[in-house]
Amino acid sequence: MNAHQTALWTSEEIVAATGGALHGTAFEVSGVTFDSREVEHGWLFVAMPGTVADGHDYCAKAFAAGAPAALVSKPVDGPHILVDDVPNALTKLAVAARNRCHGKIIGVTGSVGKTSTKEALYAALERYAKGRVHRSVKSYNNHTGVPLSLARMPRDSEFAVLEMGMSARGEIAALTRLVRPHIAVVTTIASAHIEHLGSMEAIADAKGEIFEGLEPEGIAIVPEDSDHRDRLVKAARKYAGRTVTFGQGEADVVALHAVRSESGGSLVTAQLLDSELTYTIAQRGDHWVQNSLAVLAAVEAAGADLAIAGLALADMGGLKGRGERHRLEVAGGSYLLIDESYNANPASMAATLKALGEERDVGRRIAVLGPMRELGTHSAALHAGLASSVREAGVDRLILVGEEMAPLADALGDDLPIERAETVEQATRMLSQLVRPGDAVLVKASNSIGLAKLVERMAGGLQLADAGEGARH
């Protein structure tokens, strides 16, 4: 097998795709990144411009880390391909990657659960076609992340699972035309990004843009239980050869039974289009039952093995910032810390609080909650609206981080003890002093709040003297 077949990209292919000019000797790469901290030996470094930092300033660091070349818009000291516009060149490389791929492409979007569903889909397909499945890494789902994820896609991928996000109308439409999925999944519709879009209907329309890029006779997968189900189905039918719904009631892919398993996840019997499957989900919470139905609908649509997908769901561990569970030591015993620090909106807050309430064999239930962002003028009402979920979960102690949580504190009144923290450092100090053996602690907020730092410190064996150090916000 020659280098052209084994390399992710050759310099000749990059030049042909981008229209750039090679400066230096020919090369081949095994990876692509625009973050100099991620560079591995043999990876192409893409020098993206930025408002805070210019990637061109990091080319020397990338070369030192093993990058054989860089994609640049101005000459640098080292092998490079010179283009007029780096972001545009990356998009062209993404187009070339998609054009040469003959595998099944699955696009995933939604207000809640898209990264978790993407990861579960990857796990299910990778178990079926080991080493031949590609996916978006992290949450690279925007106008730069999606092209990067495509540019990283190996030429012989049998399946690819690509996540698409947005904060405004038209963004997913542009991304889905790059991805050109054979299968397009919408996980759910919630009030994330309502600040920019103004209404839930507008959010549903923006998510429904994913269907615009479907390949001929493509399959749309839509949540049956959404208030916007009909709106999504109508959008899908303009572009999809077939529309499949998942959820409860009259859904095409439906959970006939779902009960809590001994391990704390769920035991589910689902009716699919052509078969019935009983499987276990390692992840806790009703929202994961819904995620699993979306996964199985996509696996069936892709022609992969459903039984193998069920095994993957049973084995799938928690994702960092999205339900990863830590059993941590404290004087006299241990406690459970549930890391949901990566994102938050009203729907995901309610779901994870409900899951906290269902934790068995725990002493107190403690929730450390930070603000939900991008809610605009709806922010105060939606934060206050979390009070019912807190009460129903049986939360014993609550730590609220930031002034945006004041409406929730006011709505709860004297229902339970509440600690108010202005910073992540203060919240970390409060939790470390409060927690005791047998507690179950939920940590959740929008990623920009920086509660991941609290999790890192608690999991790393925080010393109280360290709690005043600077934290990321």
At 63, which CATH number?
Answer: 3.40.1390.10
> In tens digits, what is the pLDDT along the chain, a chain of 473 residues?
344 458 999 999 999 999 999 999 999 999 999 999 999 999 999 999 987 889 999 999 999 999 999 999 999 999 999 999 999 999 999 999 999 999 999 999 998 889 899 999 999 999 999 999 999 987 789 999 999 999 999 999 999 999 999 888 999 999 999 999 999 999 998 766 566 677 889 999 999 999 999 999 999 999 999 999 999 999 999 999 999 999 998 999 999 999 988 778 899 999 999 999 999 998 888 889 999 999 999 999 999 999 999 999 999 877 788 888 999 999 999 999 999 998 888 988 998 999 999 998 899 999 999 999 888 888 999 999 999 999 999 999 999 999 999 999 999 999 999 999 999 999 999 999 999 999 999 999 998 999 999 999 998 865 333 333 322 22
Joined tokens for residue 432: 């470390």
What pLDDT shows up at residue 5? 54
Residues 155 and 278 both lie in one domain? yes
What pLDDT shows up at residue 466? 32
116 is in an annotated binding site: yes
Q: Could you tell me the CA-to-CA distances from 59 to 47, 71, 235, 348 in Å, in that order? A: 7, 9, 44, 39
What pLDDT shows up at residue 465? 31
* Structural domain that includes position 435: 324-466
8 Å CB contact between 270 and 253: yes
Residues 239 and 306 both lie in one domain? yes
Alpha helices in 45-198 (DSSP H): 59-64, 86-100, 114-128, 145-151, 171-179, 194-197
Domain boundary among 56, 85, 114: 85
Residues 156 and 204 both lie in one domain? yes
Note whether residue 95 is domain-resident: no
Note whether residue 386 is domain-resident: yes
Residue 271 burial class via C-beta count within 10 angstroms: exposed 0-12, middle 13-18, buried 19 and up: middle
Note whether residue 268 is domain-resident: yes
Estimate the share of the chain in helix, then strand, then coil, as percent rounded to the nearest 5.
Answer: 40, 25, 40
Residues 136 and 201 both lie in one domain? yes
Residues 217 and 244 both lie in one domain? yes
Residues 436 and 405 both lie in one domain? yes
Note whether residue 91 is domain-resident: no
What pLDDT shows up at residue 200? 87
Residues 456 and 333 both lie in one domain? yes
Note whether residue 90 is domain-resident: no
442 closest CA partner among 384, 400, 404: 400
What pLDDT shows up at residue 468? 31
208 is in an annotated binding site: no
What pLDDT shows up at residue 192? 64
72 is in an annotated binding site: no
Residues 184 and 243 both lie in one domain? yes
165 is in an annotated binding site: no
Q: Which residue has the tokens 């002493």?
A: 363
Instruction: Please give the span between the terminal C-alpha atoms of the chain, in angstroms, as a whole number.
Output: 49
Distance CA 46, CA 62 (A): 10
Residues 106 and 29 both lie in one domain? no
Residue 240 burial class via C-beta count within 10 angstroms: exposed 0-12, middle 13-18, buried 19 and up: buried
What pLDDT shows up at residue 2? 42
Strands 133-135, 159-163: pairing is parallel
Whichever domain contains 439, its CATH number is 3.90.190.20
Domain boundary among 51, 85, 119: 85
pTM over 0.85: no
Note whether residue 242 is domain-resident: yes
∠ CA 206-208-214, rounded to 5°: 125
Note whether residue 15 is domain-resident: yes
Note whether residue 223 is domain-resident: yes
Domain boundary among 50, 85, 120: 85
Residues 329 and 275 both lie in one domain? no
In degrees rounded to 5, what are phi and psi of residue 468?
-90, 0
Count of domains forming the chain: 3
Q: Which residue has the tokens 């009070």?
A: 387
Residues 329 and 227 both lie in one domain? no
Residues 141 and 259 both lie in one domain? yes
113 is in an annotated binding site: yes
